[in-house]
Structures are given as structure tokens and as C-alpha cells.
Amino acid sequence: MVLMLRVGVAQAPIERRPPPPPAGAQAPKDDDSVQDVPVSKPQSGDSGTQGSQQNPQGGFPTIKVETRLVNVPLNVEDATGYPIGGLGRNDFQILEDGKPQEIRIFERETTTPLSIVLAIDTSESVLTNERLEKEAAKHFVDALLRDQDELDLMEFSDVVREIVPFTNQKKRIENGINDVQRGDATALYDAIYLASKQLGGTSAANGRRRVVVLITDGGDTVKGSKYTQALEQAQRAGAMVYSLIIVPIYADAGRNTAGEHALIQMAQDTGGKYYYVVDPKDLESAFRHVSDDLRTQYLLGYYAPRRGKDDSYRKIEVRMSDAALEGKYVLRYRSGYYADGH
């Protein structure tokens, strides 16, 4: 049985064909940004906690916790792109809509869990050497995925197909990569939109980082989601978008440079990165760069200012505290978030 889901009127469908989970597999966790937490006695108020309620049955009281913590994964690089480690909390300043915020969470080389969607463009213009490309994807999964991580595998051409739902079982993902099939068109923005929707449903516990990794040439040939819709959905999910852009062999006139530039801009806005891949064998190196990038991130966190209930977009800015370092290092992080889904 194939379950067809449509997002809006114009988007291409996503086909979901999940295999039956093996014995002992854990179901995906729900988003826990708002939860009921039983406690032995009322706690003193934190800036991220609101309200309390006594249990009328005489049991444990319950407090409702609304997490306003905004996590900002951060990469710091020198002019050559080499990661800079060893910096401390006081080396950074963080602002929301131009107003300084107190950094409440700080980690060097964060080991927080990862939720990743690996989305592979299977159009004829991209899937030119299936063996090399599939092997590179398998090596990436094997090197990056830890017990606390999870990965969702999708392919996209004229439709977006979810091959393997979120799991940390490498064998299931490897089998799914073997099942990738060639297609004709390229529903690129549908893939980003739907990947971000999937990520938005993952647990936000423990500072979990959400990542979309795309293998594509940047072309979008399906009338579906627009760039702006895809970007907004990624920002609402707090997803970092990494693009491995396949450069076609044929003449430059055939390249979709507008699509490439759109992916570059999306990477900048979400705190991700892009890499050009001229030869399929270079995918191994590009995947390794993505893995290294995720392993060398700092994690900064602050509590969002209270502004009542709204759905506004809030701009984030991270600076070096030492002005002399501003021009020396490049900082990569997401440019903002929507108040309803940080």
C-alpha cells in the first residue's frame, strides 16, 4: 500500500513506503517543546517556565513548561574555511532583532543529537554514476550516524518519495539507498519543504539539531513549492540546509545557475553550507566536509524575549566580542526563526 500525502494544492506528492519496523525499533518521539512535567514539589520559576497547577486528586502537582530556549548551532572558520575551535562563551555576543541576549547555553564541539533528512535528486541529470553516488551516501551515513541520531531517507524527481522513515539503523538506510531509482523531473523545492516538515515533527529535546542534506544540480522543474515556501518551512523547523551541488559535464549554458544561487542563499540563511561536486567520485569528499562541519559546531542558546503570542520572524545575529576578530573569522548560523516553531 502506498500512502500519498499532498502539502497544499500545488506541491508534488510525497510517497511514503515505510517497511515494517524490526523488533525492538523505537518509534519517533513527538515534539516536546510544550509538555506536562510531574514534579515532587513546585520549582522556583525559570525564565523558560510558565504557571503551575495543583492536582485535584491529591497526587503530584503539574507544571506546564513552555520552552522558549532558542538554540543556535554555530560554525566559526578562518578565511580558508578551516574550523576554529577553543573559543569560549565570552568570545561571543548574540542579539535578537538588534537587542543583546544573555547566552544561557554554551557548548564547544557540541555532541547534541542530530535529526537528518538525506534527500537525493534522482533525475537523469544528477544520477549519472549510481554506484559511486550510492557508495558515497552509505559511507556518509556510516561515519556520521550515532546511537542518539536519526536519519530519514528521501529521493525526489517528479515526486518526493520517502524511502526510509527516521531511524538510526544503518542497515535499513543502506538498503534504502540501494532502492534509489531514476526519475525524470526535479521537485527540488517540494523536497526541501517536505523534508523540513518531517524534521519539524522530530523531538526538540536535548538541543537536537535538524539538518537537510541535498544531492542535486539545483534545478527545479516541477510546478509545486516555491523557493520562499521551502525556505520558510526550513526556518520554521530550525533546519540547516546543506547542498551538494552536482555540476553538469555539458556546457555552462546548460547549467541552472539560478537554482545554484538559490541553494547557496538558503544555506546562508539556515546556517548550512554548500559544496560543488564536479565528478561523482568527489561526493565522498563533500560528504566528509558535511560530517566534519556538524562535528565542529558550537552550540549557543538563549531564552527568547516574551512578546505575547505571535508568529513573527525574529532575526538572530552572532558577533565576536572582540571587534578585532570580526574580520578575521567567518561565523555561520541561522539568520532567524519563527516565534511559533523555534
pLDDT at 248 over 80: no
Q: What angle do CA 132, 137, 139 make, to 5 degrees?
A: 95
Q: Both 210 and 75 in a single domain?
A: no
Query: Who's near 206: CB < 8 A, 6+ residues apart?
Result: 112, 113, 148
Q: Which residue has the higher pLDDT, 312 or 318?
A: 318
Helix (H, G, I), strand (E, B) or coil at 316: strand
Assigned domain for 11 exists: no
What does the alpha-carbon distance between residue 170 and residue 236 come to, in Å, rounded to a whole number?
Answer: 28
227 neighbors 264 (Cβ within 8 angstroms): no
**Running DSSP on this structure, what letter comes out for residue 42?**
P
Assigned domain for 85 exists: yes
Q: What is the pLDDT of residue 14?
A: 58
Query: Who's near 238: CB < 8 A, 6+ residues apart?
Result: 71, 210, 334, 337, 341, 342
CATH of the domain at 245: 3.40.50.410
Q: Both 247 and 279 in a single domain?
A: yes
Kindly report, residue by residue over 132-163, the tens digit of the pLDDT.
889 999 999 999 999 999 999 999 998 999 99
Assigned domain for 8 exists: no
Q: Which residues form the domain of 51?
A: 35-66
Q: Both 182 and 138 in a single domain?
A: yes
Assigned domain for 276 exists: yes
What is the chain's percent helix, strand, coil content, to nearest 5? 25, 30, 45
Q: Both 322 and 216 in a single domain?
A: no
pLDDT at 210 over 70: yes
Q: Both 289 and 324 in a single domain?
A: no
Assigned domain for 253 exists: yes
Q: What is the pLDDT of residue 177?
A: 96
Assigned domain for 273 exists: yes
Q: Both 179 and 52 in a single domain?
A: no
Q: How many domains does the chain have?
A: 3
Q: Which three cell numbers stand for residue 55?
A: 492536582
Q: Which three cell numbers stand for residue 52?
A: 503551575
Assigned domain for 218 exists: yes
Assigned domain for 203 exists: yes
Confidence band of 308 (pLDDT split at 50, 70, 90): low
Q: What type of residue is 193?
A: Y
pLDDT at 44 over 70: no
Number of H helices, E strands in the chain: 6, 18
Q: Both 92 and 185 in a single domain?
A: no
Q: Both 130 and 192 in a single domain?
A: yes
314 neighbors 96 (Cβ within 8 angstroms): yes
Q: What is the pLDDT of residue 56?
A: 46
What's the gap between Cα 223 and its chain centre?
Answer: 24
Q: Both 222 and 254 in a single domain?
A: yes
Q: How far is CA 281 from CA 59, 135, 164, 295, 342, in A?
A: 62, 10, 25, 23, 37
Q: Which three cell numbers stand for residue 43?
A: 520549582
Helix (H, G, I), strand (E, B) or coil at 29: coil
Q: Both 193 and 273 in a single domain?
A: yes
Q: Both 228 and 252 in a single domain?
A: yes
Q: Which three cell numbers stand for residue 57?
A: 486528586
Other Cβ atoms closer than 10 A to 8: 10
pLDDT at 272 over 70: yes
Q: Both 209 and 330 in a single domain?
A: no
**DSSP H or E stretch at residue 128:** none
Place of cell 525492538: 24
